[in-house]
Amino acid sequence: MNSGTAIAREEPAGAFRQIMAWLHTWGGLLAGWLLFAIFFTGSLGVFDDAITRWMKPEAPAVELRDWDRASLVRMGQSYLEETVPRSHFWSIGLPTKDIPVIRLFYEDEQEQFQSERLNPATGEPMPNDAERETEGGHHFVHMHYEFHAGTAGVWLVGVFTMAMLVALVSGVIIHKRIFKDFFSFRPGKGQRSWLDAHNAVSVLSLPFLFMIAYTGLATFYSLYMPAAIEVHYPEEGSFFAELLDQPRHRPETDVDAAVVPLDGLLLRAEAEMGRAASFVVVEHPGDSSAAARVFGVFDEAEARGKLLPGTSGRVEFDAVNGELWDVQVPGEIRGGAATATQAVMRTLHFAGFGGYTVRWLYFLLGMAGAAMMATGAILVMVKRRQKSLREFGIHTPRVYRLVEVLNVGSIAGLALSCIAMLWLNRLIPIGIEDRAAWEIRGFFLVWALTLLHAALRPAGRAWVEQLLVCAALCLTLPVLNALTTGSHVLVYWAQGDGPRLGVELTVIVFGLLCGLGAYGLLRRQRQARPLLNAARPPLLQRGAESEARG
């Protein structure tokens, strides 16, 4: 083989790798800002119940005991019939250990979602100041999969998840020594250190990232691939009714008809399922098409260790005459192998099979994924601070500046807004209207302010300042909690309240990490300043002067 032939064969591979490198750099950067938010909030969402418990510090307003569930359902139905006799749906949630009240959900006459809580002893609505209204940890779950933007948000997350799969594949292709580099970390080497960190967290979390991205897309398969359903079925409900061998959805008839007593349906359903009920849902109450579904209590211990645990039980009735339509006993699996496979993927994605051990593993690997996005985005600019590649001609400095601003705001700014959410939970008065919505608005307002701050400050100063504020908010959160509720780490420890204790300790650790990050950045900036003053590259002149002033 002559040298010319060898070069000719190497050129396509080199060109392909260059294309993959460009795709990995700019595709990863553009997607990385939102993917960081998806992974960071998703990691927090693994402990959504624990965060919700911390965000609801008030003691239960009623005593938890073995209530007569039929009488509780009767109370709920009585309230709903008086408040919204006709609605798209009613939902009655029975008391649990964490929420010892009757929870009602329904659509009002303006088709707006509403909720109410009833005292199980009296059936009367609970006063607004009895417990703070909050989205709790579910806020982070909603951020993870739809950014509080409904179906459009789910699509946005799906598109960026696909972009992440492209970035992962292209990253494996361009890094020839990726597994060898996994064992190499050279601190204090500038760009080399950032690349080592990026490689290390990438390889460490690579199998998890592929799994979590693929299972996330599979969870919403009917939304992302609706064509076959829309062609063959009048609506999505008919598809699932056939797939799961369940009664079909009945359209409204506009003929008035009263709902039978739901307490009787509850008792019949519990007898059929062989376990207690947790929820009763009525579709189209007040209409002759009304249907009632009773759901069994989810048994976490029963599901532990199973990737395919089956349902918790479900019984469906005609809500007008009480006719029994369908019984799905606990553990039963319907829909064939394809549905079972999708259910396994859903269990894998939601960490629903291994208790706290698996949840902590998901939390750490999810944070490693977020770190991969962050180090990748930072690496792009570390490389270009040393030498501009002039990819955008005369606009290159402006594009670089925009990337710096978005890096700071989407990474440090998001972390800051997450901890600010916990502060808002303690500072917003209890009992005000739409309190939960105000917490979420506050979260987005703080995030927007961090972007504005990043745009107004030199990049180096913005990183340090936002990390310092984040550290301060984290480390003083226990003090705020003690001042506003009287509870703190020692109280939780003494009470054996593991979820609240875990939240507060994790916040303290996170604050220490932010403080260390800010200190490290500040020290490096002080060390680099004399060097920059001695030999300042033309491209960085303006930025370096700005850094020095900051």
Residue range 279-309, pLDDT digits in tens: 999 999 999 999 999 999 988 788 888 888 8
Q: Which long-range contacts (CB under 8 A, 24 or more apart) does 126-133 make?
A: 126/61, 126/101, 127/431, 128/430, 128/431, 129/430, 129/431, 130/58, 130/61, 131/56, 131/58, 131/61, 131/430, 132/55, 132/56, 132/57, 132/58, 132/425, 132/428, 132/430, 132/435, 133/430, 133/435, 133/436
Query: What integer pLDDT is reported at residue 511 of this predicted model?
Result: 97
Query: What integer pLDDT is reported at residue 355 of this predicted model?
Result: 85
Query: What integer pLDDT is reported at residue 64 of this predicted model?
Result: 60
Give 520's contacts (C-beta < 8 A, 6+ positions apart): none
DSSP 225: S
Query: What integer pLDDT is reported at residue 545 of this predicted model?
Result: 45
Query: What integer pLDDT is reported at residue 453 of this predicted model?
Result: 97
The predicted-structure confidence for 232-253, as pLDDT tens digits, reads as follows: 998 888 899 999 999 988 889 9
The beta strands (E) that lie in 111-205 are given as 113-118
pLDDT at 221 over 60: yes
Helix axes 459-485, 541-549, angle to 10 degrees: 40
Query: What integer pLDDT is reported at residue 546 of this predicted model?
Result: 45
Query: What integer pLDDT is reported at residue 539 of this predicted model?
Result: 45
Tokens, residue 478: 């226990």
Query: What integer pLDDT is reported at residue 410 of this predicted model?
Result: 95
Nearest one of 49, 38, 40, 98 to 355, comparing CA atoms: 49
Nearest one of 254, 533, 122, 198 to 378, comparing CA atoms: 198
Query: What integer pLDDT is reported at residue 534 of this predicted model?
Result: 56
In the chain, the percentage of residues whose pLDDT exceeds 90 is 56
Confidence label for 113 from pLDDT (cuts 50, 70 and 90): confident
Q: How far is CA 324 from CA 79, 83, 272, 318, in A?
A: 25, 27, 10, 7
Nearest one of 82, 75, 90 to 284, comparing CA atoms: 90
Q: Report which listed range, 48-62, 371-385, 421-435, is most confident.
A: 421-435
Query: What integer pLDDT is reported at residue 61 of this predicted model?
Result: 54
Nearest one of 524, 505, 415, 424 to 467, comparing CA atoms: 415
Place of tokens 């002067």: 545
